[in-house]
């Protein structure tokens, strides 16, 4: 079903894929890329590691890339020009309240559908002859829904814009920065999530207050 919603070959979905409710930085997930106008899913780890990196020490610091500087920062410049992807999810979390009583908020579509975040990806070699794909999520200024809670939000792409963003044949990548804008204010809704979200050890539907038959 996920493959159908994303328009990818079911066989391209990583074999170890399972629904996730609390993906943390450096965790495995998957991204969607485009080649010859065909979408493809690729297993990847959250936290971009450049191809020239000696280790993954910067991965947790590069989970996000600011839209304003992806074409100038060394960590993201080449990926922006050549390796753009979308990161599928059904929502994202932000926190409100005092540090001693943080309340996670889940931002998601009203209809529960998938969200396509703009992303960049790289491949590096943690061991000789063993490559690993990593990714970062592009962020921009927040819309009116998120602004009271956080000063950034992930870039959300609709289907046509996602195809434009992923197009590896785009001759002027700088023109794609037009897509890196806040999502419409009414495109997402905010719901309280369980405080259990604050621990990466917890990863189940109970975090969203839902049940799975």
Q: Does the pLDDT value for residue 80 go beyond 90?
A: yes
186: left (phi over 0), alpha (psi -120 to 50) or beta: alpha
Kindly state the average pLDDT of the residues 95-106. 90
Kindly provide the residue ranges of all beta strands, DSSP E only, lying in 48-154, ordered along the sequence: 64-66, 84-89, 92-96, 103-108, 115-127, 130-140, 153-154
Least confident residue range of 42-46, 190-194, 208-212 = 208-212
Domains of the chain and any CATH numbers: 2-90+112-142+151-184 (3.90.1680.10)
Task: Please tell me the predicted confidence (pLDDT) of residue 213.
Answer: 41
Kindly state the average pLDDT of the residues 19-24. 94
What confidence category does residue 153 fall into, taking pLDDT thresholds of 50, 70 and 90? very high
Q: What is the pTM of this model?
A: 0.94
Mean pLDDT score of the chain, rounded to an integer?
93
The long-range contacts involving 171-178, CB below 8 angstroms and separated by at least 24 positions, are 173/71, 173/80, 173/81, 173/84, 174/71, 176/84, 177/67, 177/70, 177/71
Measured distance CA(86)–CA(6) in Å, rounded: 10
Task: Please tell me the predicted confidence (pLDDT) of residue 92.
Answer: 97
Kindly provide the residue ranges of all beta strands, DSSP E only, lying in 128-207, ordered along the sequence: 130-140, 153-154, 156-157, 189-192
Q: Does the pLDDT value for residue 211 go beyond 50?
A: no
Task: Please tell me the predicted confidence (pLDDT) of residue 15.
Answer: 79
For tokens 């794909």, the residue is 133
Query: Which pLDDT tens digit goes with each residue over 163-200?
Result: 999 999 999 999 999 999 999 999 999 999 999 999 99
């Amino acid at each position: 079903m996920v493959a159908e919603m994303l328009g990818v070959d079911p066989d391209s979905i990583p074999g170890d894929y399972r629904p996730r409710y609390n993906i943390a930085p450096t965790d495995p997930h998957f991204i969607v890329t485009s080649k010859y106008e065909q979408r493809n899913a690729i297993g990847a780890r959250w936290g971009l590691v450049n191809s020239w990196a000696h280790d993954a020490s910067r991965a947790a610091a590069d989970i996000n890339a600011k839209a304003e500087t992806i074409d100038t920062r060394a960590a993201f410049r080449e990926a922006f020009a050549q390796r753009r992807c979308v990161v599928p999810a059904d929502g994202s979390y932000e926190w409100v309240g005092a540090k001693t009583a943080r309340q996670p908020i889940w931002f998601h579509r009203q209809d529960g559908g998938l969200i396509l975040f703009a992303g960049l990806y790289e491949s590096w070699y943690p061991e000789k002859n063993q490559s690993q794909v990593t990714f970062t999520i592009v962020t921009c200024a927040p819309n009116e829904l998120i602004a009271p809670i956080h000063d950034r939000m992930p870039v959300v792409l609709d289907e046509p814009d996602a195809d434009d963003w992923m197009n590896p044949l785009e001759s002027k990548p700088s023109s794609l920065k037009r897509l890196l804008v806040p999502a419409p204010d009414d495109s997402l809704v905010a719901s309280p999530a369980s405080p259990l979200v604050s621990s990466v050890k917890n990863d189940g539907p109970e975090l969203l207050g839902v049940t799975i038959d």
